[in-house]
């Protein structure tokens, strides 16, 4: 087993925990009768989170040729994934909490969701700088812009601003990587 395979197993488990939390919550919603009151914006943010987690996980592939030798590099690889787990738990209320908030869970827990999500994005950008020997600003811009959107959403609760933020982040997370050559990093999936 190579060093890359060993470290990616740990990081992949952390990412899987975060994604599993969201998907299991979706399953609980589908099994509920009657459906609990959930806002569409809340569901949209959970979809964005799963997409963000998968995109983040696929970003590990370029690390395959980099020697991760220091303890700091290992922590910078794992810290963002730990915050990803916190975001997953913050986004998924228990059935009791969802009933108590009467569909307003997302509105009331906005800061609890967006603060760790902002930290996750910041740590992911810093991890690239710590692990990749010569990081480029071009690679950090999408992360820094998305972090700025998350930080602004901590303070702005207007639903229209949330929808605009969601649309912008979907475009940023999917169109920008394709325009910057994301398909080159996806060679792993073609094999």
Tens digit of each residue's pLDDT, the chain (191 residues): 777 788 888 889 999 999 999 999 899 888 887 777 778 888 889 998 998 898 888 888 777 777 777 787 888 888 999 999 999 999 998 877 777 776 788 888 888 998 999 999 888 888 887 777 656 666 677 777 888 888 888 888 788 888 888 888 888 777 766 666 654 444 433 43
For the residues of the chain, what is the DSSP string, one character each? --HHHHHHHHHHHHHHHHHHHHHHHHHHHHH-SSPP---HHHHHHHHHHHHHHHHHHHTTGGGGGS---SHHHHHHHHHHHHHHHHHHHHH---HHHHHHHTT-HHHHTHHHHHHHHHHHHHHHHHHHHHHSSS--HHHHHHHHHHHHHHHHHHH---HHHHHHHHHHHHHHHHHHHHHTTHHHHTHHHH-
Q: Is 85 exposed, middle or buried (0-12, 13-18, 19+ CB in 10 A)?
A: buried
Whether the model clears a pTM of 0.85, i.e. scores above it, the answer is no
């Amino acid at each position: 087993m190579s060093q890359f395979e060993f470290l990616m197993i740990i990081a992949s488990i952390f990412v899987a925990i975060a994604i599993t939390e969201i998907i299991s919550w979706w399953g609980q919603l589908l099994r509920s009768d009657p459906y609990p009151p959930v806002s569409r914006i809340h569901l949209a943010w959970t979809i964005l989170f799963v997409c963000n987690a998968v995109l983040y996980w696929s970003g590990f592939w370029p690390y395959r040729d980099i020697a991760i030798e220091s303890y700091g590099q290992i922590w910078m690889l794992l810290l963002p994934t730990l915050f990803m787990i916190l975001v997953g738990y913050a986004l998924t209320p228990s059935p009791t909490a969802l009933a108590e908030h009467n569909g307003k869970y997302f509105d009331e827990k906005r800061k609890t969701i967006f603060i760790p999500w902002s930290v996750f994005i910041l740590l992911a950008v810093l991890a690239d700088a710590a692990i990749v020997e010569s990081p480029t600003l071009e690679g950090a811009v999408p992360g820094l812009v998305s972090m700025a959107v998350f930080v602004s959403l901590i303070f702005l609760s207007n639903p229209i601003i949330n929808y605009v933020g969601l649309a912008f982040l979907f475009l940023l997370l999917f169109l920008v990587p394709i325009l910057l050559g994301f398909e080159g990093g996806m060679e792993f999936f073609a094999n």
